[in-house]
Amino acid sequence: MGRIMELALDQGCRPALAGEFTQRAYLGGRLDLAAAEAVAQLVAANSQVEARLALSALAGGIAQRLRPIRESVTLAGAAVEAAVDFPDEAPEIIGPQLSQSLTQDAITPLKELLADRARRGAFMDGGTVVICGRPNAGKSSLFNRLLGSQRAIVTAQAGTTRDSLAEGALLGGVACRLIDTAGLGQASNELDRLAQGSARQAIGSAHLALVMLDGSVALQAEDLEVIKLCADMPCIIVQGKSDLEAASQPELGGLSSVLRLSSLSGQGIDQLCQAIGQKLTGGAPEPQPGEVMVSLRQGLALQRCLEAVIQAKLGLDASDLQPELVSLDIAEALEALGEADGQDASDGVIDAVFENFCVGK
């Protein structure tokens, strides 16, 4: 393969840029921007659900969902422009039904799309799951078991994991970035302090923490510290080493989301994966074939669109109607909508979409 590349390059060829083939299809009018973005999502999909969502987007699902919204905002824009041109007739042109239909056909569906994204975004974007706990609790063993490989070093000696290790894994139907961290507790030297600082940072930016406890011994002060550290974020308390005789751990009595498992035998691992999926998605149903969900980028644009449409509606409802100002809000809403569905997207938006591609494609 390398030799073929060399020969081709010698003959004057050059390697394709990231996303170049899809960009050419877009520029040639064979794909719209939302479909081009869906190709990137499909290439990067880490789970069946992610691939399914990308296929729905590729089939034009997003543009279809946004079409009635675009029609409603465009219609309102036309009425407002007419009111600017014929100020005397403005009250008749802009009746109360214009504001009502903006609510019904634009504001409500935009809110629904954004709420759905907030509720089920993990199916599309995945989640970051961090394993934390005191040294020797069994973190690296769980990390390896969830990955199905011996990625992290496991020893009976404490303090083997210094840098946080991160790997991709499909857990409970959600594509996750799984992170194994250094043990938290007494830091006896500078290296320990740095390793624990990086562990705390990883915990702070994760969507979910798995607090690893050794279920075969009584809890130590360090374990309680870690439980406290994760108390304000979504977390699952994992009592590991269930293949050994269980120790009494009365401190866990009042806590929810406690799971017993053994990384050695695999007992309880399936239940943990299910619980991870449940926590990351809030138990929301996974998207079905044909269902569409907006991407992070589209979501930000639609949020901007929603705010502009709400502003336009307030302007339409105002007693001292000023069509010029409403028309600015409508223009802003249409621009944001164009960013979301790729119609009339600016060069910056187009570049941002193609930057996410791997080489070629």
Complex with ligand GDP: residue 180 or 341, whichever CB lies closer: 180
Neighbours of 265 (CB within 10 A): 12
Minimal distance, residue 172 CB to ligand GDP, in Å = 20
135 binds ligand GDP (CB under 6 A): yes
Q: Of 180, 170, 183, give the one whose Cα is nearest residue 130.
A: 180
246 binds ligand GDP (CB under 6 A): no
Residue range at the interface with ligand GDP (CB under 6 A); choices 100-108, 153-161, 280-288, 330-338 = 153-161
Number of residues lying near ligand GDP (CB under 6 A): 21
136 binds ligand GDP (CB under 6 A): yes
Concatenated DSSP letters of 179-227? EE-PPPS---SHHHHHHHHHHHHHHHT-SEEEEEEETTS---HHHHHHH
Q: Of 216, 129, 125, 113, give the one whose Cα is nearest residue 169.
A: 129
Residue range at the interface with ligand GDP (CB under 6 A); choices 1-9, 131-139, 195-203, 286-294 = 131-139
- Contact yes or no for 141/242 (Cβ under 8 A): no
161 binds ligand GDP (CB under 6 A): yes
Complex with ligand GDP: residue 224 or 314, whichever CB lies closer: 224
Residue range at the interface with ligand GDP (CB under 6 A); choices 71-79, 105-113, 150-158, 329-337 = 150-158
268 binds ligand GDP (CB under 6 A): no
Tokens 């199916």 correspond to 123
Complex with ligand GDP: residue 32 or 180, whichever CB lies closer: 180
139 binds ligand GDP (CB under 6 A): yes
Minimal distance, residue 127 CB to ligand GDP, in Å = 21
247 binds ligand GDP (CB under 6 A): no
Neighbours of 205 (CB within 10 A): 10
264 binds ligand GDP (CB under 6 A): yes
How many whole angstroms separate alpha carbon 46 and alpha carbon 117?
Answer: 18
Minimal distance, residue 134 CB to ligand GDP, in Å = 7
Exposed / middle / buried, residue 73 (Cβ in 10 Å: 0-12, 13-18, 19+):
buried
Tokens 């990955």 correspond to 147
Minimal distance, residue 118 CB to ligand GDP, in Å = 34
Q: Of 271, 155, 154, give the one whose Cα is nearest residue 210.
A: 271
Among 172, 240, 277, 342, binds ligand GDP (CB under 6 A): 240
Tokens 């993990």 correspond to 122
Q: Per residue, what are the HEC states of 62-114?
A: HHHHHHHHHHHHHHHHHHHHHHHHCHHHHHHHCCHHHHHHHHHHHHHHHHHHH
Among 61, 121, 126, 138, binds ligand GDP (CB under 6 A): 138
Exposed / middle / buried, residue 353 (Cβ in 10 Å: 0-12, 13-18, 19+):
buried
Complex with ligand GDP: residue 165 or 301, whichever CB lies closer: 165
Q: Which residues bind ligand GDP (CB under 6 A)?
A: 133, 135-141, 154-156, 160-161, 183, 240-241, 243-244, 262-264
